[in-house]
Amino acid sequence: MDFLADANTEAYTVKKKDLIEYAEEQELAFIADNDPANDKAKFALLNANVVDPLLEDGYVEIEDVGRRKQVLLTETGADALRAFRHKVRDL
């Protein structure tokens, strides 16, 4: 959620592909520990481990723009991030 808050701007909205690239750069466990064979597998891991749980809790929403899926932080997600950002940044 911290990445979404920092990366989403008036001119650009984060896409799922951006989240995958960030996860690979940061060597996040859901990607690094699974060694997905292709992009389809990466998207499946992202959805199962990150996007779907955040959607269910109302922290993000997905907006279809053409064939792309943009990921937006909801007001609930922004509130949760504000409350716990110090914990995220300490990691």
pLDDT of 87: 79
Residue 13 confidence class, pLDDT cut points 50, 70, 90: very high
Note whether 70 and 13 are within 8 A (CB): yes
- Chain centroid, CA 29 distance in Å: 14
CB-based burial, 41-53: b 16+ in 10 Å, e otherwise:
ebbebbeebbbee
Residue range 28-50, pLDDT digits in tens: 999 999 989 999 999 999 999 99
Domains of the chain are 2-89 (1.10.10)
Q: How confident is the model at residue 86 (pLDDT cuts 50, 70, 90)?
A: confident
Instruction: Note the pLDDT tens digit of each residue in 47-63.
Output: 999 999 999 999 999 99
